[in-house]
Structure formats: C-alpha cells, structure tokens
Amino acid sequence: MHNHRNGVSAVSFGAPAWEVSKQNKVIDIRTDYVTPNIMRRSDGHEFVNLCSCSYLGLHSHPDILEGAIAAIRHTGALDLPISRIRLRLNLLEEFEDRLTALFGARCLSAVTSSAATAGVLPLIASGHMSSDGTPPVMLFDRHAHFSMDYIRPICADETEVVACRHNDLEQIEDACRKHKSVAYVCDGVYSMGGVAPIAELLSLQDRYGLFLFIDDSHSLSLHGAHGEGYARSIMREVNERTIIVASLGKAFGGSGGVIMLGPTEHEDILTRFGGPLAWSQGLNVPGIGAGIASSKLHDSPELSRRQAQLRRNMALFDSLIATEQADNGFPLKVIAIGDEDRAVAASARLFEAGYYSSAVFFPIVKRGAAGLRIMLRADNTEADIRGFAQALTEILQRDLAPAPARVKADA
C-alpha cells in the first residue's frame, strides 16, 4: 500500500491549513462579478481577484460570450447527451478542426483537461500509444500537477511507475539507457512556477525514443503565434511519441480541455478506450460556441495585443515584488512565506485590503514552504498591481514582521 498514493497522510497533514484558511474566511467565499476584474463578496466587500487563471482576460470577451449564446440559439439544445464515439455535433467537429489548424496537431476536446489526462495516461501505460505496443516505464515528475499524479496508481497497474526528481535529465536519461521504452510525465509550465526543459527532453526523445506526456495548461494561449503554448511552440511537430494536454478554461477563455496528438490512429484508441473520453459526454453547446469564438480571436491581432499587455503587467509586477519566478516570462508568481499560518494570515489581510491571493501550503507545496500564489492577467490595471504591492509591503512589514518575503523598496 501507499506506493503511489497516500490519502491518509495527505489529509492528516493538509487538513489543518485548510481549516485555518476557512477560519480566516479566505476559502469557500461566495461572490459575484462587479466588473470582469472586480468581485463582490456577499456582504458587499469588493476586491481584485489575483488568482484567476484567465491570463489573457478573455473570460469576459464579448465575442466569446456571444459565441456561447449563438451556439445555443443555432443548435436549439444545451447538449448532446451521449458519448462522442456514438454521436457528435458538426459544431464540435468544426471546433476541433479549428484547434487543429491553430495548434498544428490533431486536436480532440474533452469536458476538462483532467478528464483528458485520465483518458490518455492509462493508455500510455498499457503501451497502446506506443508504436510497438510495449508498456513503457513511466517517470512522473515529482512536481507534476495533481491531475496527473492522481492517475499514477492506475498506470502502476499496467506498468512500472517511478517518481522522478524534478526536471532531472540525468535520471530520465539513465532510465532510457536501462529500459526499452520510457515515458516521462510532466507539466510544460508548472502550477507553482517554473518550466520543463522541453528542448533537452526532445533531444532525449531523438536519442532514445522517449515518450513525452506534457500538460501545458498554464501556457496555452500565452506562447506561440497562435497561442499553441510553451511546449508546442518549441516543437517542429507533435510526433507519434508526444501528447500534449491543456486546459481551454484558462488563458484560452473557453471551457474544457484539448489533447494534441500526432498520428491519427491515437484518436480511435482514445475515443474507444480512453476512460471518460469514451464513456462520458464532451463539451456542451455553449462551451463549443465559446471555443469557436476564442479560436477566431486566436487567429487575429487581438491575441498578440493581449499577450503583449500581459508581458507588460508581468514586468511591472517583477519590478515591485521579488519572487523566484521573476522575469521568467510566465504569469504565475509565488511569494515565499514559509509558515502556513502566517501565509494564511497574509492572504486574509490582503483580502480585507481588497486583493484576493491564494495561500498555498502542503500538499500543494512541500511542508514549510507555504506562500502566496498570484496569477497575473492582461486585464489587470497598473493600479491593481501597484496597489497590491503596496498592501503586501505594509502587511509583511507591519502585521507579520519580520517580513518573510523579499519586497523591493519601491513597491
């Protein structure tokens, strides 16, 4: 037991910080939109949400909202409640064809990126996504998102599964030398900051046939001329030994998930045997309509304008607050606090000052490494960012001294 999952440990060590968060009223918050950038708590308290993954601010774009409405009107139904292997709407086919053209790989959609991951990983483990059918030894990066780690025990029932040290190319290459077939499971951009060494991984793929499964949810739409994401923008193509999964509900501004595939034979395997991809329903009609509208925006000058504005906002933030993620080109920032109770207290004080940030703690991060996670967006104003930096400075220096985070003097 507990070779690949330990719920008892996760809950027993993680529950106290969640309970402190609840007592400090920084989780389970009931809220409404005031503007696309301002939220209002049920008691009337208004705040800037700095934890939204809508990195380009497309969640409120009028074209995307109208696309969802127009799709319902055109179809006359909310959904087609049947597995896609039986029936699928022409509207869904149009959407996936648009994604395929944008991202330069055969794209399938799913109701969430987690459902996509749950469908793909066990089939990699069983060897059905490999050209020779050999079940690979699977290396899961220790920082891989929980949506991947959660599927690890299922994969372990099909093949040997190993926890890999974070971004450890030597361990990956050593496994490639020892085993006929190896698959590496990782994020392209990690949810707590940092990136995978994509170029080096592609080199290992060329030399040893390494299979790559990459969740690039936190960079889709942010990188590439058409928003294809960090990992895909580095690759010449998505080949038969690579699968990329990403969320369409973050910077893309829609809902659901996308799977980028190489050879077309993978599509049939996934839709027939890919867990929730086979037995469950796919995107509903408004989700498809919103996605089509977003794909049009991704093929227009609007995408580069939003990407540029996000870069300006990141540069401003990095000039005011020092984090390990400064100047890395990605909008995820983690302000180190250390102690879990102090991180929650900082989050609570910032919230009352009008800025919502996520206190992150075990099991999201390792024990003793708690902090505040910020997600910057293209629609954040300069006043949002400067106001947050000022509030953070005052709280860390006055209420939580000595300040555990490095905040620059001009914040």
Q: Report CA dihedral (125, 140, 366, 246) to the nearest 10 degrees.
A: -80
Digit-coded pLDDT (tens) for 351-365: 999 999 988 887 777
Give the whole-angstrom CA distance, residue 383 versus residue 361.
28
d(CA 337, CA 124): 38
- Rounded to whole angstroms, how far apart are CA atoms 57 and 52? 9
Say whether 360 sits in a helix, a strand or coil.
strand
β-partners of residue 39 are 33, 47
Q: How many Å from the N-terminal Cα to the C-terminal Cα in the chain?
A: 49
User: For the purposes of burial, counting CB atoms within 10 Å of the CB of 326, is it exposed (0-12), middle (13-18) or buried (19 or more)?
Assistant: middle
* Domain residue spans of the chain: 7-35+301-399, 61-298
Report the distance separating Cα 109 and Cα 274, nearest Å.
13
pLDDT reported for residue 403: 42
- Helix, strand, coil % in the chain, rounded to nearest 5: 40, 15, 40
DSSP at 378: T
CB atoms inside a 10 Å sphere around CB 81: 9
Is it true that domain 61-298 has CATH number 3.40.630.30? no
What is the C-alpha to C-alpha distance for residues 161 and 158, in angstroms, rounded to an integer? 9
Q: How far apart are CA 189 and CA 201, in angstroms?
A: 14
**Do the beta carbons of residue 367 and residue 308 sit within 8 Å?**
no
Among candidates 254, 265, 326, 11, which has minimal Cα distance to 109?
254
C-alpha gyration radius of the chain? 22
Q: What is residue 404's predicted lDDT score, i.e. its pLDDT?
A: 43
Q: What is the dihedral of CA 26, 216, 58, 297, to 10 degrees?
A: 180
Q: Are the C-beta atoms of 254 and 56 separated by less than 8 Å?
A: no
Quick one: pLDDT at residue 411?
Answer: 42
* Tens-level pLDDT at each residue, the chain (411 residues): 777 877 777 788 778 888 888 888 888 999 999 999 899 999 999 999 999 999 999 999 999 999 999 999 999 999 999 999 999 999 999 999 999 999 999 999 999 999 999 999 999 999 999 888 899 999 999 999 999 999 999 999 999 999 999 999 999 999 999 999 999 999 999 988 889 999 999 999 999 999 999 999 999 999 999 999 999 999 999 999 999 999 999 999 999 999 999 876 788 999 999 999 989 888 999 999 999 999 999 999 999 999 999 999 999 999 999 999 999 999 999 998 888 888 899 999 999 999 999 888 877 777 778 889 999 999 999 999 999 999 999 988 876 654 444 445 444
Query: Is the pTM here over 0.75, yes or no?
Result: yes
Omega before residue 402 within 30° of 0, cis: yes
Domain 7-35+301-399 has CATH 3.30.110.40: no
